[in-house]
Structure 1
Amino acid sequence: MHRLSSTTRPLLTFMASAPPYWSPAALALRLLPLKVAHIPDVRHVSGFPRGYRNIASTRRGAKGKPNRGLPISSTKNHSAISQGMKKVEARGTTLEVRRSATKERKWAVVLSNDEEDVSPVEILPKSTHRDGSLYNTSTHVWKRNYQVADRSETRVEPMMLSNPTNCTIRNGRCTQHVPRHMLQCFSIKLAKLFVDSGTVELYGYIAVRDGLDPLLNYVVNLSRDDPIIVEQGSLIKMSGPKRGIDMYNIILIEYDMRIKTGEKEDDDLQLIDGISVIEDMGGLWNCAFTTRIAGDHGEIDFTSSRVRRAVEATVEVTISQVQSSFDLCLRCFIGGFDEEIRLFDGAIGESRGLKRSVIALVEGSTMDLKFRIGAESSAGSAEHGCSFKADTHGHATRGIKTGFGLISVKVTWSTLIHGF
């Protein structure tokens, strides 16, 4: 299947194939209680590999829960379900496969029946960092289209159309700068850890490359000199994205996360490494889905949603007139979703501005910010909140006065720039 972008955007040509959801093979696979991600051997180099797992195509029920028995991506090797299992018990109990640490990276994960909300994701062949295969752009067209050898950060800034001068207003609305389909990341979690220690020092990055500008748009970016200490089940602090993620073309999720174990980087353990794909055709919109990225020493859960007719909200929070130190947890909820976006969780000891956050939400919907504030070393806390209605341009401000200090919130609205 060949797809062309708009003539106002860089020309991107992709080729991919997967069994239709209604095909006999796919229907048969839907009856299986297991979900397996398998990367077949791929010899063609003209585009994306055949049978790659579209991590945004999960079919779900009315409440956003995935239907049990999703089709797996490869129809060539159905016997894979019976290979490599270490433990298989009766239906309704844990079904488990530990992926072997091989360079072929064929096995991702077989999910437990108790983890209905999670689907496995495939890693594109020849897309790993440590062996250098990602940077060989002669092997796949998509590597050149998305400039994967270029390690620069995206050049596009947020709020680029927050105050445009060329609007066309009809019936009180701007028709010149319209909402775009966007991707919103809710959370990233260390789902599984295949090492004996209870906690680990984690560093590395997770970034997206989209059709607006294929350079790296970091969602997580942790240096080896400043890793985070996490345990299995912990959320991984998101540092981005820097600007809204365009869902107009196929999106690449690029990741290289490692566990720090000693003085030298060569001794560190690889958590996840490679590139996966989110498709802009088919699947669900305005519904959160969780996918699991498997690696040699652990697994990461990535919860996100493809949002139709979205605008970009840039949230800036300033804490001033601080009376005493306090703990602050700032959560964001966007209209139509139960999932929270954790914007900040830490201690405030002096007046300061928090990290700027960029959120994608449907035009006209509501964004709620909830501030949970408590004294340090105190079990009690109070919650304050403010709400904003999503618009295409302009900004809105709110002020919250607490016993610990003054919280000022500014939200700037913008649509994504076209034809960058």
Structure 2
Amino acid sequence: DIEDYYDRIDELNDTFKEHFSYVIIRPRCPSPRCFHLWHRQFRMTNTNPTSLGSKCFTEPCAYEYVSSDLQFFSMKFAGDFSHGEKMTIYGFVAVRDDIDHLRNYIFYRSSDHAQEITPDAPDLLLIPPARGISAPFNVIVEYCLKVKNNGVWRMQSPMAPKVQLHKVRLFGPLGPLDIRFALLRFAVEATIDVKVKRAMAGYSLSTVTAYTCGLLDETVLYNAYASSVCCGGLSSSMVAVASAVVAVEL
């Protein structure tokens, strides 16, 4: 229950130097729904992804582009691996915000393209969101992560961040999941296109990351193992690497 969750977070904060923030845990299927206004507000029964793309405010009105945005940096399995073995993860993590309340994916893997994690590499490979994540009010972080031939994590949590940099821990039947993100109070949505002008035979690039002022965490723009990128429409001398949406503080 929620009191047990708070007690476990307090225990973590007493043990480690790095502070863990609190989140509010909501039931996935509340009953009766009429008593849970957040479930209707965030359109939880609608499982479609957001239909809005990036660059919504390419020509904004005065102050229209200034907003509070979320930038996710990492998700890491923080539990114990059985006998040091690997786990194969699939499922999704999505954020529902105040713009259209639909899923904006930051992790998505089908069972056929599941990701293996190990004690030496416990991070889930994030993908850039389809658009910036607006956070002037609460957001829902909805996830359903499964381990092949094993149990299931399933939870969604509205978060109301109050400080800039956050680390939260969510507990599930298989173990805890640590999420790092930042709340940028005055931010703009930026779309970064990364291209390689010349590529030799056998060209291969695994990861492209970026940094922004005021934050030490890296933002992954591209990871070859997390998603595939279509290179259509580019000349033979121009190779597309990534088109990533990020939040940048003003």
If the length of structure 1 is used for normalisation, what is the TM-score? 0.51
What's the Cα RMSD here? 2.9
Distance 1:241 1:337, change over 3 A: same
Distance 1:176 1:340, change over 3 A: closer
Q: Give 2:128's aligned residue.
A: 240
Counterpart check, 1:330 vs 2:218: no
| Structure 1 CA distance for aligned equivalents of residues 224 and 21 of structure 2 | 32
Q: Give 1:182's aligned residue.
A: 69
Counterpart check, 1:305 vs 2:182: yes
The correspondence for 2:2, drawn from 14, 27, 39, is: 39
Counterpart check, 1:295 vs 2:172: yes
| Structure 1 CA distance for aligned equivalents of residues 193 and 243 of structure 2 | 5
Q: Give 2:115's aligned residue.
A: 228
Q: Give 2:137's aligned residue.
A: 249
8 Å contact 1:123–1:274 — kept in the other structure?
Answer: no
The correspondence for 1:111, drawn from 12, 37, 44, is: 12
**Alignment length, in residue pairs?**
238
| Structure 2 CA distance for aligned equivalents of residues 178 and 326 of structure 1 | 36
Query: 1:356 is aligned with what amino acid?
Result: S
Distance 1:108 1:346, change over 3 A: same
8 Å contact 1:110–1:120 — kept in the other structure?
Answer: no
The correspondence for 1:206, drawn from 72, 77, 93, is: 93
| Structure 2 CA distance for aligned equivalents of residues 345 and 181 of structure 1 | 26
1:207-241 Cα deviation digits (max 9, x unpaired): 11111110111111111110011123522111131
Query: 2:154 is aligned with what amino acid?
Result: D
- Shift of residue 177 of structure 1? 3.0
- Shift of residue 158 of structure 1? 0.7
Distance 1:323 1:303, change over 3 A: same
Counterpart check, 1:361 vs 2:248: yes
| Structure 2 CA distance for aligned equivalents of residues 118 and 159 of structure 1 | 34
Distance 1:108 1:298, change over 3 A: farther
* Structure with the higher fraction of residues in helix conformation: 2
Distance 1:180 1:112, change over 3 A: closer
Q: Superposition pairs for residues 267-282 of structure 1, below 5 Å?
A: 268-270=150-152, 272-279=153-160
- Shift of residue 307 of structure 1? 0.3
The correspondence for 1:314, drawn from 165, 186, 191, is: 191
Distance 1:244 1:135, change over 3 A: farther
Q: Give 2:233's aligned residue.
A: none
| Structure 1 CA distance for aligned equivalents of residues 148 and 13 of structure 2 | 28
Structure 2: gaps (5+ residues): 230-235
Counterpart check, 1:160 vs 2:56: yes
Query: 1:243 is aligned with what amino acid?
Result: R
1:335-367 Cα deviation digits (max 9, x unpaired): 10011112234499x96423421111112xxxx
1:314-335 Cα deviation digits (max 9, x unpaired): 1122234321334443111111
Structure 1: gaps (5+ residues): 1-37, 42-52, 54-71, 73-80, 82-106, 128-132, 168-174, 262-267, 364-420
1:71-99 Cα deviation digits (max 9, x unpaired): x4xxxxxxxx6xxxxxxxxxxxxxxxxxx
Query: 2:25 is aligned with what amino acid?
Result: L
Secondary structure in structure 2 of the residue aligned to 1:111: helix
8 Å contact 1:202–1:230 — kept in the other structure?
Answer: yes
Counterpart check, 1:124 vs 2:5: no
Sequence identity (%)? 22
| Structure 2 CA distance for aligned equivalents of residues 116 and 207 of structure 1 | 29
Q: Which has the larger radius of gyration?
A: 1
If the length of structure 2 is used for normalisation, what is the TM-score? 0.83
Secondary structure in structure 1 of the residue aligned to 2:195: strand
| Structure 2 CA distance for aligned equivalents of residues 355 and 195 of structure 1 | 35
1:248-279 Cα deviation digits (max 9, x unpaired): 22111111111112xxxxxx321x31111211
- Shift of residue 125 of structure 1? 4.0
Distance 1:120 1:259, change over 3 A: farther
Query: 1:252 is aligned with what amino acid?
Result: I
